[in-house]
Structure 1
Amino acid sequence: MSVSTLFAAVMPAFILAAGLAVDGAARLTAQREAQAAAAAAARAATDSAAAARLQGAAGDAQAIAAADAVAREYDIVDVSVSIGPDRRVRVRTTADCDTVFLGLIGINGFTVTGLAEAELRRS
């Protein structure tokens, strides 16, 4: 077997392995970042609502605004904040992650999400 034939047979496997290692690690990092943004936003919402309640307001609008502001400090694409009838704030973040090696086989990026909930307690 010649060296060029061996190289041609091994190169796709090498690209795939490198893609899984490098791009997989980048995807996991982006996933952690999206989750951290969601958790920090949920915490900011509860803190803001508590401060508003101490001043006699419901605090929902302040909680949503605080969560959105904190989440947007992270490298994310989209933030969704809602407060349900069960008095839980739900934060969903979405981030994009571009690929390096997997782009060679048509996978140009990943979309990852983070989810967090926190209870808005009544005093």
Structure 2
Amino acid sequence: MSLTRRRRSLKRGTTCARQVERGSVSTWLVLASFAMVIVVGLAVDISGQVHAQQRARDVAAQAARTGGQYLDSAAVQGRYPSIDVGQARAAAQDYLAATGVSGTVTVTGGTTIRVDVSDTYDPLFLGVIGIHDLTVTGDATARVIRTMGDDET
């Protein structure tokens, strides 16, 4: 078999193989791209929900601290630490309203204020498949104490 004939037959065989496999890379690329978009979308929405959860905890902590600033007159005079329940609850609720989240404020034992917060996260990519408004929650507690030196009294 001459070299020229051999080249022709190889070219024909290669051409036939190319025609048979035509478009196989395109299909793989489309499917791989679709899978990558889904993975990136899930990563974006999960990280967004984690961020919303952290914000809910932060808002709860700040609201509890805000409410804990309102002491009754006995605490101001140095007798015993206690929270002015009405003012503390109102201040914490005002803080929650200012940040745009809903929550509950409870005062326990006159020295502890607890704030529970509930908010929602609207996913960017999961909304395409019908998942909307993921609920996130956070809670925090602030306690009023009196110290003498390094000792809590």
TM-score normalised according to structure 1 size: 0.79
1:95 equivalent to 2:119? Answer yes
Question: What SS does structure 1 have at the residue aligned with 2:131?
Answer: coil
**Radius of gyration: which is bigger?**
2
1:41–1:71 Cα contact (<8 Å) kept: yes
Matched, 1:27 2:27: no
- Structure 2 unaligned residues grouped into runs of 5+: 1-22, 147-152
How much is the aligned-residue C-alpha RMSD, in angstroms? 2.7
Please name the residue that 2:96 is paired with: 71
Moved over 6 A (4+): none
Contact 1:26–1:97 (Cα < 8 Å) also in 2:
yes
Q: Counterparts of 1:65 and 1:4 in 2: how far apart (Å)? A: 62
Shift of 1:11: 4.6
The structural deviation recorded for 1:85 is 3.3
Aligned match for 2:141, one of 103, 107, 117? 117
Shift in alpha-carbon separation, 1:42–1:31, aligned structure 2, 3 A: same
Q: Percent identity?
A: 35
Paired residues in the alignment total 121
Partner SS state of residue 100, structure 1 = coil
Q: CA deviation at 1:87?
A: 3.2
Taking structure 2 as the reference length, what is the TM-score of the superposition?
A: 0.66
